[in-house]
């Protein structure tokens, strides 16, 4: 095994100057490499290590058996753009305000991007890379709308990423890649139009391996890989040879899957939410359900193969023993559960996250375990910064979970709840380029058509409130005994005190979120 050596005093000087708190200092001459793998819309239980071996994810499962698998990880927001910004900056959407719809429909400013984990690690001497779906826009100053027609990745992100191969939402919208002098990288995407168009995930994998192949031996790296899968169900986004194993398979159906419409949903959701009509179109019959899940399983398997290739490449290069691999997604997906498709709403299928962390530096005897600590997606950024031996910026509102990982954390001092928010309204999304979006937003609220919600998840309870509806609509679930969230306890007299406490806790965590709001 080749030994990697960090040459020069720059790294040590940066680490020491960044770590003002002595407890955060790392006595190490060889800082770890960090790889952050994110899928798109991958429901937490659509893989073997989370109880569904029918999805056939052997490499991800092996990563889990060699690392820590989190069973109570949750998204602070469960839709792609704001979720990605949350994980990169360590801030909830009500703080960074980068979302799809008004009034939280801003781009990410250069000043806020400078406090993201890639920017912090780049400044400290790491080589940084990004591959895949960006999903948000960085501009000099925060501006509206958050989905401008142009993105200018090189101009606004080139100073942070040494290696980049990304697009806003789809490869077919155009991929920008640098270094421009890397002929192998350029060829991967230059020949895109002449190759099987269903190999999007495999191209992402090729670029990922190219980053590793071009890595200097005397520098640590941080690579963020954002797969476009498993979001799409069209053939063009699947690698069809991998579909063969699933094409005749009947997948298990969750007990909370609903055929047709779900009359138990709140009226404001039934009448306005995108997930209702998408369910009718995509997952409301047994035939539609199986058709879709086969396609999602195919994409998940193709991602899994790239994970396997990555691990083998790290072994080949002698890097695995000093590399941390984090695997998660940007949000979940209902797939017909609760009579819904899509994500956003605060039921488990949407807000529960897969999270696996492998650390090659940890002895084998201390790696394999499952962890029940409550984790939020706002924790990803401060954890990555801390893993690099640096002090997270004060702007990051999440917690460093390193102590949870190495079991040094005093769990009596750990959080007992995580905040979750859904600020997406499909009617507002359709109006995102209108000049009078704030006026349109107010009219929707006054017409009682807003289903924006926020709430908390504890180890046992789930509470959320549609706070712009009049009167407010609340839901309360004992997820320990009702994991499929079939029995709303909000009107149960014996749960009144629990309801009262969770209302207070939701408001307290929300106030903390907005206390460091952008703009």
Q: Which of 251, 356, 349 is nearest to 297 (CA)?
A: 251
Quick one: pLDDT at residue 9?
38
Please state the three-class secondary structure of 183-239 as a single string. Answer: HHHHHHHHCHHHCCCCCHHHHHHHHHHHHHHCCCCCCCEEEEEECCCCCCCCHHHCC
Report residue 492: phi and psi, to 5°: -85, 120
For residue 446, what are the contacts with CB-CB under 8 A and spacing of at least 6? none
Report residue 171: phi and psi, to 5°: -60, -35
Structure-model confidence comparison of residues 198 and 38, the more confident one:
38
CA dist 246 and 294 (Å) reads: 6
Quick one: pLDDT at residue 23?
37
What are the tokens at 458? Answer: 């504890």
Instruction: Map residue 121 onto helix, strand or coil.
Output: helix
Residue 37 pLDDT exceeds 50: yes
CA dist 357 and 363 (Å) reads: 14
Quick one: pLDDT at residue 234?
62
CATH level 2 (architecture), domain 419-514: 2-Layer Sandwich (3.30)
Confidence of residue 150 (pLDDT cuts 50, 70, 90): confident
**Cβ atoms of 217 and 4 closer than 8 Å:** yes
* Each residue's pLDDT tens digit, 294-341: 999 999 999 999 999 999 999 999 999 999 999 999 999 999 999 999
Structure-model confidence comparison of residues 152 and 289, the more confident one:
289
For residue 506, what are the contacts with CB-CB under 8 A and spacing of at least 6? 419, 454, 455, 456, 463, 464, 465
Q: Is 382 exposed, middle or buried (0-12, 13-18, 19+ CB in 10 A)?
A: buried
CA dist 100 and 432 (Å) reads: 7
Residue 176 forms beta bridges with which residues?
166
Alpha helix (H) ranges present in 262-285?
A: 267-272, 274-282
Mean pLDDT of the chain: 92
Strands (E), 19-89: 33-39, 68-74
Token match 């709001």: residue? 517
Structure-model confidence comparison of residues 255 and 4, the more confident one:
255
Confidence of residue 1 (pLDDT cuts 50, 70, 90): very low
Reported CATH class of domain 28-410: alpha beta
Counting Cα atoms < 13 Å in the Cβ hemisphere of 507 gives 6
Residue 3 pLDDT exceeds 50: no
Q: Which of 243, 61, 35, 221 is nearest to 132 (CA)?
A: 35
CA dist 49 and 357 (Å) reads: 13
**Cβ atoms of 455 and 473 closer than 8 Å:** no
CA dist 383 and 375 (Å) reads: 11
* Each residue's pLDDT tens digit, 415-424: 999 999 999 9
Strands (E), 461-506: 461-466, 473-478
CA dist 375 and 373 (Å) reads: 6
Quick one: pLDDT at residue 235?
61
The boundaries of every CATH 3.30.1120 domain in the chain are 419-514
* Each residue's pLDDT tens digit, 47-85: 999 999 999 999 999 999 999 999 999 999 999 999 999
Q: Does the N-terminal peptide bond of residue 180 adopt cis geometry, omega within 30 degrees of 0?
A: no
pTM strictly above 0.85: yes
Give me the mean pLDDT over the 244-261 stretch.
Answer: 97
Quick one: pLDDT at residue 10?
40
Token match 């007992």: residue? 416
Confidence of residue 115 (pLDDT cuts 50, 70, 90): very high
Residue 119 pLDDT exceeds 60: yes
* Each residue's pLDDT tens digit, 191-248: 665 555 568 999 999 999 999 999 999 999 999 999 999 987 666 678 999 999 999 9
CA dist 32 and 221 (Å) reads: 8
CA dist 501 and 497 (Å) reads: 6
Lowest mean pLDDT of 133-147, 168-182, 475-489, name the range.
168-182
Q: Which of 88, 127, 116 is nearest to 221 (CA)?
A: 127
Quick one: pLDDT at residue 516?
82
Residues, the chain: 519
Residue 18 pLDDT exceeds 50: no
**Cβ atoms of 458 and 464 closer than 8 Å:** no
Quick one: pLDDT at residue 15?
40
Structure-model confidence comparison of residues 414 and 7, the more confident one:
414
Counting Cα atoms < 13 Å in the Cβ hemisphere of 302 gives 29
Quick one: pLDDT at residue 323?
98
Alpha helix (H) ranges present in 390-431?
A: 402-405, 426-430
The boundaries of every CATH 3.40.720.10 domain in the chain are 28-410
């Amino acid at each position: 095994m080749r030994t990697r050596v960090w040459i020069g005093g720059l790294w040590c000087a940066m680490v020491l100057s960044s770590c003002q708190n002595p407890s955060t200092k790392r006595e190490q001459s060889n800082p770890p490499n960090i790889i952050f793998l994110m899928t798109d819309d991958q429901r937490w239980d659509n893989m073997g290590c989370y109880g569904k071996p029918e999805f056939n994810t052997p490499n991800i499962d092996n990563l889990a058996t060699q690392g820590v698998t989190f069973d109570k990880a949750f998204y602070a927001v469960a839709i792609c753009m704001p979720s990605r910004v949350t994980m990169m900056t360590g801030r909830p959407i009500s703080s960074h305000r980068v979302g799809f719809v008004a009034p939280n429909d801003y781009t990410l400013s250069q000043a806020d991007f400078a406090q993201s984990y890639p920017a912090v690690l780049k400044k400290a001497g790491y080589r940084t890379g990004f591959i895949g779906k960006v999903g948000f826009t960085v501009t000099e100053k925060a501006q509206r709308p958050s989905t401008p027609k142009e993105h200018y990745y090189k101009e606004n992100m080139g100073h942070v990423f040494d290696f980049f191969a990304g697009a806003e939402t789809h490869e077919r919208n155009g991929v920008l890649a640098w270094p421009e002098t890397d002929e192998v990288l350029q060829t991967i995407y230059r020949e895109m139009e002449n190759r099987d168009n269903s190999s999007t995930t495999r191209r992402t994998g090729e670029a990922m391996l190219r980053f590793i192949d071009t890595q200097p031996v005397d520098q640590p790296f941080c690579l963020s890989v954002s797969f476009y899968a498993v979001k799409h169900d069209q053939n063009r986004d699947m690698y069809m040879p991998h579909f063969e194993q699933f094409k005749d398979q009947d997948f298990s159906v969750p007990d909370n899957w609903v055929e047709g419409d779900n009359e138990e949903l709140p009226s404001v959701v039934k009448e306005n939410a995108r997930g209702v009509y998408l369910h009718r179109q995509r997952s409301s019959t047994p035939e539609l359900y199986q058709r879709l899940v086969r396609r999602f399983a195919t994409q998940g398997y193709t991602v899994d193969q790239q994970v396997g290739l990555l691990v083998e490449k790290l072994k080949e290069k002698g890097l695995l023993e000093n590399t941390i691999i984090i695997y998660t997604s940007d949000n979940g997906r209902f797939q017909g559960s609760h009579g819904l498709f899509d994500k956003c709403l605060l039921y488990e299928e949407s807000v529960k996250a897969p999270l696996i962390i492998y650390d090659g530096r940890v002895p084998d005897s201390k790696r394999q375990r499952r962890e029940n600590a409550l984790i939020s997606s706002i924790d990803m950024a401060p954890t990555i910064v801390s893993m690099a031996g640096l002090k997270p910026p004060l702007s990051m509102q999440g917690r460093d979970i390193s102590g949870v990982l190495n079991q040094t954390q005093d769990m009596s001092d750990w959080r007992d709840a995580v905040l979750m928010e859904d600020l997406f309204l499909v009617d507002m999304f359709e109006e995102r380029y209108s000049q009078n979006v704030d006026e349109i937003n107010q009219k929707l609220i006054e017409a009682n058509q807003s289903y924006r919600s926020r709430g908390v998840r504890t180890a046992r309870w789930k509470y959320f409130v549609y706070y712009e509806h009049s009167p407010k609509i609340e839901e309360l679930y004992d997820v320990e005994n009702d994991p499929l969230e079939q029995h709303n306890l909000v009107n149960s007299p014996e749960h009144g005190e629990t309801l009262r406490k969770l209302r207070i806790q939701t408001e307290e965590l929300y106030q903390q979120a907005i206390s460091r709001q952008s703009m």
